[in-house]
Amino acid sequence: MVLALTVCGIVVALVVVALFVFGLRRRLIQRSGGTFDCSLRWDAPEKGDVGGKGWAYGVARYNGDRVEWFRVFSYAPRPRRVLERSAIEVASRRVPEGEEELALLSDAVILACLHRGTRLELAMSEDALTGFLAWLEAAPPGQRVNVA
């Protein structure tokens, strides 16, 4: 009986520590500011495929001429993807359809982009989208920006 209680106590302690580390990691990512909730679908399918598969929930952070994207459910201290402002081409903008509505946050707007030849989609709130597009257009003189 004592062994079972000890094991249960250790399991509960490990779960609490794991949840604390998730929260601490997100806090450290957001500490420098310029963050927003952003779902990402890398290697997105062609137009017309509105299945909810492939979306990963995350937090994006502006860092100079880059946007660093971190998975929410990860312990990795480094960003999973880094998008460079000069390499981002915005192709289109749309609202979630079909199964995407279940996979994404309720107020999400989807931005279809190309980054170095890779098709990707970013889903974020309307406010975050406004900030993201303003950041793209605020490139230093001489850099090309492709915003549709």
- 79 half-sphere exposure, CB direction, 13 A CA radius: 18
| pLDDT, position 49 | 61
| pLDDT, position 31 | 79
- Calpha distance 51→101 (Å, rounded): 9
Question: Which residues are CB-neighbours of 44 under 8 A, at least 6 positions away?
Answer: 54, 112, 119, 120, 121
What is the pTM assigned to this prediction?
0.80
DSSP symbol at 114: E
| pLDDT, position 133 | 94
- Calpha distance 60→140 (Å, rounded): 21
Report the chain (148 residues): mean pLDDT per 10 consecutive residues.
88 90 76 87 75 85 92 85 93 88 88 92 95 88 62
| pLDDT, position 108 | 92
| pLDDT, position 147 | 61
Tokens of 77: 């201290």
> What b/e readout covers 37-48, taking b as 16+ CB neighbours within 10 angstroms?
bbbbbeebeeee
